[in-house]
Homo-oligomer: A and B are copies of this chain.
Amino acid sequence: MLEEKGILKVSSSFLARSMNLTASQVRQDFCNFGEFGQQGYGYDVIRLKNEILKILGLTKRYSVIILGAGNIGRALAGYGGFLRDGFEVKAVFDEKSDIELENGLPLLSMDSLQEYVKQEKPDIAVIAVPGQSAYEVAKKAVDFGIKSLWNFAPIDLKFDGVCVENIFMSDSLYVLAYKMNH
């Protein structure tokens, strides 16, 4: 955002203010990854952005498949925003492969998953199936060679040597309810 506004430098105290942190926290955290500031000046916005992109691994591109063409699966497939960050959705898989997708993405049968993963080697599989089938589907994907899962099902997936990030939406809703009552 700073880059878009044409702002060239930024201080730890400014960053802290805009993210509800302390300046110390910001500097300590950056320092863990190197020294990319300059005393008396602050951080160069472009440099800082690039360093953070490097740290996060967002300088690469990632190919993504979505498992499940229900509400969430279709919503993610339809949302183009991730592409900007380098995540490209390549295909959607579902048991019922006759559902129509609105955006020209291939909708494939779950039966063709093994073949697809073997050939295309997608980087990330999104688990967008109902909770009951989530483990089974994730297990398949992992067995076929997927090394990274973005999980929207409300279960704790865990496989050796596989990266998992969870979006536990109902947990978040529970936290909202808690906040409303305290």
Chain B residue, CB-CB nearest to A103: B71
Q: What does the 1/0 interface line of A76-104 toward B look like (CB < 8 Å)? A: 10110110010100000000000000000
* A178 in contact with B55 given A75-B74, A150-B172 (CB within 8 Å): yes
Does the CB pair B57–A181 fall under 8 Å? yes
Chain B residue, CB-CB nearest to A168: B167
A128 to B133, CA, bound (A): 27
Q: How many copies, total?
A: 2
Binding site for B on A (CB under 8 A): 19, 55-58, 60, 62, 71-72, 74-76, 78-79, 81-82, 85, 87, 123-124, 147-148, 150, 156, 163-167, 169-170, 172-181
Chain B residue, CB-CB nearest to A154: B81
A117 to B170, CA, bound (A): 24
Does the CB pair A172–B167 fall under 8 Å? yes
Does the CB pair A78–B82 fall under 8 Å? no
Report, nearest first, the 6 A-B pairs whose CB atoms are least far apart. A57-B181, A71-B75, A75-B75, A165-B176, A163-B179, A57-B177
